[in-house]
């Protein structure tokens, strides 16, 4: 399984520490990951992990989307990267998992509502263990393969 990990916050903060903990935990389980981040320091700290490929530092969701290689599932870690998840789902049928902090936000914004609606699952990375997160990714992939994404209603 290959997981795309996307975090587009530029500041090194608590969210960045949680993101790094997730990546390192999954790396210990030998999960292949492709990471796209906006913070150069975060990219540098993850580049030495054996199962992690760090892409170039990105600043926009469209740039991140263009640089995501084929992955089995994407994990979006902030609201900006939620747009990448939505694009992956709509154009490549790639399932995505989002952090609970994103899905807990008010969805008056139609774009945020669409991101939340199309996310396969929502997780709280502050409390989930890496092996449980891996099971969540597998569930997202399985659920995605069973759910038709588009039905042609013209008949």
pLDDT tens, residue by residue, 44-89: 999 999 999 999 999 999 999 999 999 999 999 998 999 999 999 9
- Which of 14-18, 30-34, 74-78, 146-150 shows the lowest mean pLDDT across its residues? 146-150
- Backbone torsion region of residue 29, taken as left when φ is above 0, otherwise alpha when ψ lies between -120 and 50, otherwise beta: alpha
pLDDT tens-digit series, residues 73-131: 999 999 899 999 999 999 999 999 998 776 656 567 788 888 888 888 888 887 889 99
Residue with tokens 């090194």: 12
DSSP secondary structure code for residue 60 in this structure: S
Domains of the chain with bracketed CATH: 2-144 (3.40.50.2000)
- Number of Cβ within a 10 Å radius of residue 3: 24
pLDDT at 151: 42
147 vs 55: which has the higher pLDDT: 55
Closest residue by Cα to residue 55 from 98, 129, 103, 2? 2
* Six-digit token string for 132: 């449980």
pLDDT at 14: 86
Rounded to an integer, the average pLDDT of 28-57 is: 97
pLDDT at 147: 57
């Amino acid at each position: 399984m290959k997981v795309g990990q996307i975090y587009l916050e530029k500041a090194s903060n608590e969210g960045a520490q949680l993101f790094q903990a997730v990546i390192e935990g999954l790396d210990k389980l030998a999960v292949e990951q492709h990471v796209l981040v906006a913070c150069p320091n975060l990219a540098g700290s993850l580049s030495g992990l054996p199962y992690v490929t760090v892409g170039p530092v990105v600043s926009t969701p469209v740039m991140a989307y263009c640089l995501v290689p084929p992955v089995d599932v994407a994990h979006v870690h902030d609201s900006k990267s939620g747009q990448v998840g939505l694009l992956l789902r709509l154009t490549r049928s790639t399932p995505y998992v989002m952090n609970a902090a994103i899905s807990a936000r008010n969805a008056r914004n139609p774009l945020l509502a669409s991101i939340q609606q199309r996310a396969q699952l929502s997780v709280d990375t502050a409390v989930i263990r890496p092996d449980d997160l891996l099971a969540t990714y597998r569930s997202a992939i399985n659920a995605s393969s069973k759910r038709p994404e588009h039905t042609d209603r013209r008949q």
